[in-house]
Amino acid sequence: MSFYRKNPLFAIAMTLCAVLALGELALIYERYAASRSAAKRLAQRRADLESMTVLMPPPTREVATAIETDLAKAQKALAAMQGELKGRGPVGERIRTAKAPAARTDAYFDLATFVEKSRAAATQQEIEIRPEAARFGFAAFANEGPMPDHIEAVFRQRQIAQYLVDALIEARPRAIFSVKREATLGKADREARAAAIANGEPPPQVHGEEGPDYFAIDPRVTARVPGFIDTVPFRFVFTGQTAALRSFLNRLASFELPVLVREVEVEQATAEESASAPVVEETATPATEASVAASVLLTTDAPAPRPVAPKAVRTPRAPTTLPIVAKTLSKFTVTVEFVELVPPAEAPAPADAAPPAPAT
């Protein structure tokens, strides 16, 4: 001890050497641990590389370029299909840009205008509208508009129904018997149905699904895929010749709107379904009756005049020609679906994500 006191510089030098030795040992251990970790990572990478060598095709740069090209083509095709599902031409543009009514009163008058215009178009084409189809699927709103939670959904159904009814009227069937649609869902109904589908349970029945306006499409034929594709189904029942059905389907095949035909049922129309509404014939007017009144001939040499009995006046009719084979009417039941993509749900933000910086 006295030696270190007599030689303080030597003691300091020895202390520094000890500290440096300890530091070198710590550095050597750290380098040794890092080298072992690197060796483990290298072994894992080699194992991954060996496992990837058995893949078909091998992950080369050429294969990666081909995959990128295929991905670009798939994304382009997806964009084209999404554009097709939004409709084309003025019909699709009108539906995309239309704004739903804000109040129940506005929604009521929107539906009333649609019904009146459709009736006028059917009358012009000499198409009979049976009482069940008098409101074209919207009889529930004959006196009042839909509830506020249903206005947007009913308005969208009305837009699609207008296109379909116009297409059917242009096909000129003999009579339209019914137009039915799927019942609209409010926010609570949509949440309950989504929860039931997510749990694998049958969706609950919505109030109002059973009625003259509504029908439930068969789950085996629908194009609906929960979370990906949603549809708005309609069902039309009408009578006419086969040409009316063909014209109606050809109009839908033009794909002005993304409407898919799901079912077509054909059966021979009964006598009651083939019969038209009775037509009231006009009676003879007073002017016509006066023209057929008794006439009197007056002469100076003749005896007292005698009334001449009136003769029946017959209106000439065009000759009717009966066909050798009479054309029979058919009854058609056509079920269609308007298809639209469900927008993807937004991914939830991570809990530890920093809040956005305030705007300056």
Domain ranges of the chain: 62-87, 98-201+208-271+330-341
For position 355, what pLDDT does the model report? 54
For position 298, what pLDDT does the model report? 36
Q: What's the rounded Cα separation, in Å, for the pair 281 and 22?
A: 121
Per DSSP, the residues of 10-58 read: HHHHHHHHHHHHHHHHHHHHHHHHHHHHHHHHHHHHHHHHHHHTTSSS-
For position 286, what pLDDT does the model report? 40
Point out the residues of the chain with pLDDT beneath 70. Answer: 1-6, 53, 55-59, 82-88, 187, 190, 193-194, 197-198, 200-210, 277-327, 344-360
For position 192, what pLDDT does the model report? 73
Q: Cβ contacts of residue 150 below 8 Å, gap of 6+? A: 184, 185, 186
Q: Where are the alpha helices (DSSP H) in 254-302?
A: 271-274, 286-291
For position 252, what pLDDT does the model report? 93
For position 313, what pLDDT does the model report? 43
The label of the residue with tokens 């609209």 reads 184
What's the predicted TM-score (pTM) here?
0.63
Note the CATH architecture for domain 98-201+208-271+330-341: 2-Layer Sandwich (3.30)
Q: Return the closest-CA partner of residue 130 out of 279, 273, 330.
A: 273
